[in-house]
Amino acid sequence: MKEFHDTSACPPASLPKDPRDIPAMLRTLVEAERCAVRGYTHICNLTAGKDHRTYDLSLAILNEEIEHESWFSEFLGEGPSGHFMRRGETSPFVSKFLR
């Protein structure tokens, strides 16, 4: 698993020493999501107009990552996230890939 992670664009998350330090935990999570947003944005930029299927899948995952970032950001008090209430168990962004 470590070898797989080492190929990603994001550094490994370092959890706070005190697991009860919720703000520190949230900062770690929001930065991990922001790194994922940067990575999937890059993939979308590389594939736009060239590889439609990869672009479509990357865009769906990017939307998920933006939603996750907004949740953690809101918990940190950075403002309202504007995320929607999900209905059902499947994300509206990736459900078309699960048929």
pLDDT, tens digit, for every residue of 37-46?
A: 999 999 999 9
pLDDT reported for residue 21:
94
Per the domain annotation, does 13 fall within a domain? no
Per the domain annotation, does 71 fall within a domain? yes
Per the domain annotation, does 69 fall within a domain? yes
Per the domain annotation, does 8 fall within a domain? no
Q: Count of CB atoms within 10 A of residue 94's CB?
A: 13
| Mean pLDDT of the 67-88 span | 70
Per the domain annotation, does 93 fall within a domain? yes
For residue 55, give the CATH number of its domain.
1.20.1260.10
Spatial CB neighbours of 29, under 8 Å, sequence gap ≥ 6: 13, 72
Per the domain annotation, does 40 fall within a domain? yes
**Domain range for residue 52?**
22-81+89-97
Structurally, the chain folds into a number of domains equal to 1
Per the domain annotation, does 10 fall within a domain? no
The single-letter DSSP state of residue 84 is P
Query: What would the pLDDT profile of 16-44 be if each residue is shown by its tens digit?
Result: 999 899 999 989 999 999 999 999 999 99
Instruction: Specify the 3-state DSSP secondary structure of 47.
Output: helix
Contact 34, 69 (CB under 8 A): yes
